[in-house]
Structure 1
């Protein structure tokens, strides 16, 4: 990919993720049906843009568009309203992680997201039920913190403590 194209894609991904974040913060301050609709529309448009990028250029890995833009792409993907697309990208991210082109942390988040959405236990404990502040079911919980350490996550108890403190 040409550097100018990679730079333009990076800028667009970061811009789109920032817009989602801004709308989400606005909706938290003023929760209305209009603010929820704006978030939904933003996420739908962001997902369509990401689908186009993935179709034309593959997953936007850190080595291709830079770490901030690759993380923005992951945030867009996690908010996408299309589970089939998320699953396809999960597999692309898994391969990119294995090839060293994407952080393992990205794979952990999308793998857990897809597992929870499919009603399966998650592997890294990244998905927390907002109603209970407890993780959704976890596969092989006895080795969870080892897996979390391997992808750069803190132990689950530490993450839960920070969540409860509002950190």
Structure 2
């Protein structure tokens, strides 16, 4: 990819995530149907833009556009309303992480997201039920922290402490 194009894609992805963040913060401050609709529309538009990028250039890896922008792409993907798209990108991210072109935690987050959405146990314990503030079910809990360490994530108890007030 031409460096100028990679830079433009990086800026666009980061801008879109910031737009999502602003809409989400506003929706939490003023929880109206209109505010929720703005968040949904933003996430739907962001997902469509990411789909176009993936169709043209494959997954926007950290190697290609930098880690901040690749992380922004992951955030857009995690909020996308299309599980089939998320599953397809999960596989692209898995290959990119295995090749060192994408941070390994990116694969952990999308793999867990897809597992939870499919009603399956997650692999890395990155998804937490907001109602209970406990992780969704995890596959082979006895080796969870080992898997987390292998992809560069802190032990689950460290993650959970960080989610608690004052943590």
Give the alignment's TM-score, normalised by structure 2. 0.98
1:2 paired residue number = 2
- Is 2:158 the partner of 1:158? yes
Following TM superposition, by how much is the alpha carbon of 1:126 offset from its aligned partner in structure 2, in angstroms?
0.3
Equivalent residues in 2 for 1:106-145, closer than 5 Å: 106-145=106-145
- Secondary structure of residue in 1 paired with 2:120: coil
CA displacement 1:2-39 (0-9 Å, x = unmatched): 00100000000000011001111111111111110000
Give the alignment's TM-score, normalised by structure 1. 0.98
Following TM superposition, by how much is the alpha carbon of 1:120 offset from its aligned partner in structure 2, in angstroms?
0.5
Q: Distance in 2 between matches of 1:16 and 1:48?
A: 11
Equivalent residues in 2 for 1:1-167, closer than 5 Å: 1-165=1-165, 167=167
Following TM superposition, by how much is the alpha carbon of 1:166 offset from its aligned partner in structure 2, in angstroms?
5.5
- Structure 1 stretches of 4+ with a deviation exceeding 2 A read none
Q: Distance in 1 between matches of 2:90 and 2:115?
A: 10
Q: 1:67 to 1:160 in 2, by over 3 A?
A: same
Instruction: List runs of 5+ in structure 1 lacking aligned partners.
Output: none
Q: Distance in 1 between matches of 2:4 and 2:23?
A: 29
Give the alignment's Cα RMSD to 1 decimal. 0.8
CA displacement 1:61-111 (0-9 Å, x = unmatched): 001011100000000000000000000000000000111100000000000
- Secondary structure of residue in 2 paired with 1:165: coil
The aligned length equals: 167
CA displacement 1:125-149 (0-9 Å, x = unmatched): 0000000000000000001011111
Q: Distance in 1 between matches of 2:33 and 2:72?
A: 26
Q: Distance in 1 between matches of 2:13 and 2:150?
A: 27
- Secondary structure of residue in 1 paired with 2:142: helix
